Amino acid sequence: MTLSIGMLARRAGAKVQTIRYYEQIGLMAEPIRTYGGQRRYEEDAVKRLSFIRHARALGFSLDQIRNLLELADDPKRDCTAADSIAREHLAAVKAKIAALNSLKRELIRMVDCCDGTDTAHCRVIETLANHDLCASPNHEPVQ
Amino acid sequence: MTLSIGMLARRAGAKVQTIRYYEQIGLMAEPIRTYGGQRRYEEDAVKRLSFIRHARALGFSLDQIRNLLELADDPKRDCTAADSIAREHLAAVKAKIAALNSLKRELIRMVDCCDGTDTAHCRVIETLANHDLCASPNHEPVQ
DNA sequence: CTTGAACCTACATCTATTGTAGAAATAAGA
DNA sequence: TCTTATTTCTACAATAGATGTAGGTTCAAG
Ligand SMILES: [Zn+2]
Ligand SMILES: [Zn+2]
Ligand SMILES: [Zn+2]
Ligand SMILES: [Zn+2]
């Protein structure tokens, strides 16, 4: 029993286009085709795609996922490499949280300090026009 | 005294390409040109570009910035609209922090639970392959 | 055999830049 | 005035990770 791309999409929680995109960038293997040229997938494609979607939901990049899949395909291998990809991602998530918390504090200050009259005296506009009104000496890039 | 695009870039902390891009999408006005076709900016371009870069550093989207600039150009206007753009952005930042904190907890669990033998028994790989091993019932998209 | 749903490829779009190539302009020094 | 190094110009491509569209084909059920 093989699956059409639409059935695979439903089984793994992905869009059809996304599956074709993953195939295009070499993350999913090219499946067999019907005589008419439509893709037909085996059961293991569901596993692989679910792995990818779950890892995406947890914020891993497609490049990290590519590496994790390669490691997972080699079951006897020491898992240090896999763990360090996760730790690297965790570190990135922590850094992003820190940067966003800094933004959050600054935005709260802006919003709270505005007495809400006209834009000529709006604290939001003033702060954006003048970094000296910010509390933090600089802003880390968020993405 | 007018400024070349490179001088403007240095004054406002932007890349030359970025300035041309902002002009292309209508965020910066088209400046006058020399006979040879090079851009020459007035002093107010520094202000406008600095505003944009500062707002970007605080995470506002170019669309939000476009609206903020339009509001700022009309000083007698009630600043409610400006404030609500900031509040909307603040809400998005808070939501992103919450989603990232959820990811962080899950990643810590994965990393901490792995006893680090081979990939066949790696908790990181296992968790990515099976959402049932996750603590949270679902993962909010982060971006 | 018909028909509607699903599928195909190829391309465009989104955000916010950044990089490149090849040509032209400018500013400073000789 | 001439040379030369730096800057600027346009146009296009690339980045990440999908998603949307157009126009055409295939599949499966009745
Ligand atoms: Zn205000
Ligand atoms: Zn600031
Ligand atoms: Zn492990
Ligand atoms: Zn999960």
Average pLDDT of the segment spanning B51-76: 96
Binary contact (B125, A79; C-beta < 8 A): yes
Identity of the residue in A59, A110, A141 whose CB atom sits nearest the CB atom of B86: A110
Residue whose C-alpha is closest to residue A129's, from B26, B42, B79, B65: B65
Q: How high is the pLDDT of residue B139?
A: 95
Per residue in A42-101, pLDDT (tens digit) is 999 999 999 999 999 999 999 999 999 999 998 888 899 999 999 999 999 999 999 999
Nucleotides of C under 7 A from a protein CB: 6-10, 15-20, 24-27
Average pLDDT of the segment spanning B75-81: 88
Average pLDDT of the segment spanning B78-82: 92
Among residues 48-107 of chain B, which lie with CB inside 8 Å of chain A?
A: 50-51, 54-55, 57-60, 68, 71-72, 74-80, 82-83, 85-87, 89-90, 93-94, 96-97, 100-101, 103-104, 106-107
Q: How high is the pLDDT of residue B69?
A: 97
Closest residue, by C-alpha, to the C1' of C26: B36
Q: How high is the pLDDT of residue B120?
A: 82
Binary contact (B122, A59; C-beta < 8 A): no
Neighbours of A51 (CB within 10 A): 19
* Three-state secondary structure call for residue A40: strand
Lowest mean pLDDT among A15-19, B46-50, B110-114: B110-114
pLDDT above 90 for B109: yes
What whole-number distance in Å separates Cα of residue B88 and Cα of residue A111? Answer: 10
Q: Which ligand is nearest to the CA of B129?
A: 4
Per residue in A22-35, pLDDT (tens digit) is 999 999 999 999 99
Per residue in A101-131, pLDDT (tens digit) is 999 999 999 999 888 778 888 999 999 999 9
What whole-number distance in Å separates Cα of residue A13 and Cα of residue A23? Answer: 16
Domain ranges across chain B: 1-58
- The alpha carbon of residue B33 is apart from the nearest alpha carbon of chain A, in Å, by 26
Indicate the DSSP class of residue B116. Answer: -
Residue whose C-alpha is closest to residue A139's, from B65, B57, B92, B12: B57
Q: Do residues B23 and A107 make contact, with C-beta atoms less than 8 angstroms apart?
A: no
Footprint of strand C on the protein (CB under 7 A): A 4-7, 9, 16-17, 20, 37-39; B 4, 14-15, 17-18, 21, 34-38, 56, 61-63
Q: What is the CATH number of domain A1-58?
A: 1.10.1660.10
Neighbours of A24 (CB within 10 A): 10
pLDDT band at B135 (very low <50, low <70, confident <90, very high): very high
